[in-house]
Amino acid sequence: NVSSLFCSGSRSSKTFKPKKNIPEGSHQYELLKHAEATLGSGNLRMAVMLPDGEDLNEWVAVNTVDFFNQINMLYGTITDFCTEESCPVMSAGPKYEYHWADGTNIKKPIKCSAPKYIDYLMTWVQDQLDDETLFPSKIGVPFPKNFMSVAKTILKRLFRVYAHIYHQHFDPVIQLQEEAHLNTSFKHFIFFVQEFNLIDRRELAPLQELIEKLTSKDR
């Protein structure tokens, strides 16, 4: 089977997606800098709030790109542990299994290994982020009417990568001393999606206990 050979071959190079850069000097870059500065204060609830006078679509866009980069990097550290053999299905614990479909190239959900699923997912997200009609980077170019629904789908899918890492690869995360980094990134992500009601509660179920634990200290 040529396609499976190709998949495992391309996989072994352990490439993960290039970082998506927000152009310097742009308004979105200023927003990203603002986000980083407020994150530095340590108050994540405050850090996710829409800055005064800013456009919600733009704020969601900047943060979505940032979460894509963070998750990309976090998953990149554990790709050696996430293989066709270790993770033949894309799961988040015994109760949750994800099948891939993007609605265009793959319309009917397919069952695939976690590394394959995450590769599909991150490639799909990257394609959305690179689409100037969806994520305009130029000042004054309006966001499309369906922007928020696209952003919600992206964030819902990115959550699944966190869920897979927590459920299936937490031991290597601890060995690599990435635990604090992962927790902070995930907590930031959860506060953000909670603030703007971007992911359905049912979708968050695989990490519900962790979410309650991480967010209870900050109520």
Q: pLDDT (tens digit, 9 = 90+) per residue, 142-196?
A: 999 999 999 999 999 999 999 999 999 999 999 999 999 999 999 999 999 999 9
Domains and CATH numbers, the chain: 67-216 (1.20.140.30)
> Any binding-site annotation on 99?
no
Is 46 in a helix, a strand, or coil?
Answer: helix
Q: Token pair of 25, please?
A: 């000097």
Q: Token pair of 167, please?
A: 């459920």
Q: In which residue are the tokens 């394609």 written?
A: 127
The DSSP H or E segment spanning 179 is helix 179-195
- Banded model confidence at residue 7, pLDDT cuts 50, 70, 90: very low
> Any binding-site annotation on 169?
yes
Give the span between the Cα atoms of 59 and 112, in whole angstroms.
Answer: 33
> Any binding-site annotation on 27?
no
Provide the sign of the torsion angle of the four alpha carbons 102, 103, 105, 110, taken in this order. positive
pLDDT at 217 (0 to 100): 67
In the beta sheet, which residues pair with residue 94?
Answer: none
pLDDT at 94 (0 to 100): 93
Backbone angles phi and psi of 199, in degrees to 5 = -130, 130
Whether 186 contacts 164, CB under 8 Å = no
> Any binding-site annotation on 164?
yes
